[in-house]
Amino acid sequence: MIGHFFKLAWNRRRANGFILAELLLCFLALGAVLSISCFFLHNWRQPLGFEYRNVWRLDLGGGPRFEESEDGQKARMWAQVDQVLRLLRGREEIECASPLYFNVPFGGTSMLSTNLVNGTLLMIRDVQVAPDARKVLGLHLVAGRWLEPGDEALTFRPAVLTRNYARALFGDADPIGKTLIIRGESGKIDREEERRVVGVVEAWRQNGELSPAPLAQFSLPPWGMPHLPPANFVLKVRPGVSPAFEEDLVRAVRAIDPAWTVGASPLARHRDRLLRDNLLPLLVAATVAAFLVLMVGLGLTGVLWQSITRRTQEIGLRRALGATPAQIRWQILGELLALAILAAGAGSLIILQAPLLGIFEEVPLQVYLIALTLATLTLCLLVAGCGLYPGWLATRIRPARALQYE
C-alpha cells in the first residue's frame, strides 16, 4: 500500500512538483528552527557550573591606560585595587568578593589560550581568578582541590580544569597531578612556565545556559607590579539587600578615584539580557516559519481542492469499481504523506550537510536527528490536516458523475 502511494505520487509528478517544492521549503524552515530550538534545549539541560543568584559584578573603567603609565602611576593603580578589595570585603551587605580577569559570567569578553586537544589546536577559556572566586560563584569541585593562597609560591602554576577539558586531554585517567602543556597560537609549546592540574570543576558556561560548554581552565593571576591589575570583580551579596545598594556601592568605589567609570549590577540582570538577545532571533525565525507553514497549508488546501475537481472522473470510476469512501480518503491522504516524506528526505539530506561538513562543530549529531524527526512529524501532520477537507470532498463524488466526462 505504501509503495502504491509513492507510485501514484510519481505518476503525477508534474502536477505534484509545485506541492513538493512548497513542502521542501516548509521542511527546511521547520528543520532550521527546530534544530536551533533542540540545540538550546540540549544546552539548557547541561550544568551551568556556577551560581548567579545574589552575585553581582563590579566593573572599573576610565582613567589612564596601564600599559602607557609610568611605574609610579602603575603602583598607584595597584594600591587603588587593594583599596577597592578592602572596601568590598568590609561592607556588611557583601559576604565575599574576588577579582576576576575578563571572563566575567554573562559578559562579552574572554581571555583565551590554545592547546592541542586530540590532534586539534583549540581555543581554551583561560579564567584567572583569586581563591575566593569559588566561594563567590559557587563553583562545584568534582575532583582534587581548588586554588589556595600561597599557590603562587609553588615551583609550578596550579590549574583547575573543567570536567570536559580534563576528559578531552586525559580521557578516563585521573588528571590530578598531571602536567598541563601550554601552547602558543602557532602550536609551539610554551616552556616559560609549568602548569599542573590540581583540581577539576563541573563546568564553566560563562555565556549562559543556551551556550555550549567550552573547554576552560582556572589559574591564579600574576598579582602586583608590573602586571595588569584587574578591572572586574564578582561579589556574593547577602539576600534582601536594599534597592539603594547599587547606587551606594558605585558612589563608594568612585570616591577612591573620581576618574573611574564604575558599573555595579547583579549577574541575574546580565543573564536575562543575554537570554533575551539569544532567544529574540529564534523567536523571529519561528514567527517567519509559522507564517510560512500557514501559507503553505492554505495553498496546499486550495491546490488539493482544485485537484479533486480535476480528478472527478478518476475518483468516480474508482467508486464505480467498488472503492469505499474510506479508501478514497486514504488515497488522497496517502499521496500527500508520500510527498511529505519525499520532501522530508530531500530536506534532511540538505540539513545534514552541516554536521557532515563540520560547519557547526558544537552542535551534536543527535540534536539534528531529533530536530529532523520532529520536523518530519510536523510536516506529516500539516499535510494530513490540509488533506482532510479535500479528502472529504473526494468521498462525496458519485460514480454517475464520472459519466459526464465520457
Q: In degrees rounded to 5, what are phi and psi of residue 300?
A: -65, -40
Contacts of 31 (CB under 8 A, 6+ apart): 347, 348, 351, 371, 372, 375
pLDDT value for 307: 60
Does residue 89 form part of some domain? no
C-alpha cell at 71: 611605574
- The string of pLDDT tens digits covering residues 178-197 is 988 766 555 565 555 678 99
Query: Do 401 and 295 belong together in one domain?
Result: yes
For residue range 46-64, list pLDDT tens digits in order: 999 999 999 999 998 877 7
Judge if 107 and 206 occupy the same domain. yes
Contacts with 82 (C-beta within 8 Å, 6 or more apart), sequence order: none
Q: What domain count does the chain have?
A: 2
Closest CA to 297 of 39, 95, 4, 25: 25
Domain boundary among 231, 258, 293: 231
Contact call for residues 339 and 9 (beta carbons, < 8 A): yes
Q: Quote the CA–CA distance of 114 and 248 in Å, as a whole number.
A: 41
Residue 202 belongs to a domain: yes
Are 315 and 192 contained in the same domain?
no
Using one digit for the tens of pLDDT, what is the confidence trace for 197-249? 999 999 999 999 999 989 999 999 888 888 888 889 999 999 888 888 999 99
**339: Cα separation from own chain's centroid:** 33
Instruction: List own/partner pairs for 323-329 with CB under 8 A and 24 or more apart.
Output: 325/395, 326/395, 328/391, 328/394, 328/395, 328/397, 329/391, 329/392, 329/394, 329/395
Q: What is the CA radius of gyration of the chain?
A: 31
| Stated pTM of the model | 0.81
Cell of 355: 554536521
- Verify that 28 and 146 share a domain, yes or no: no
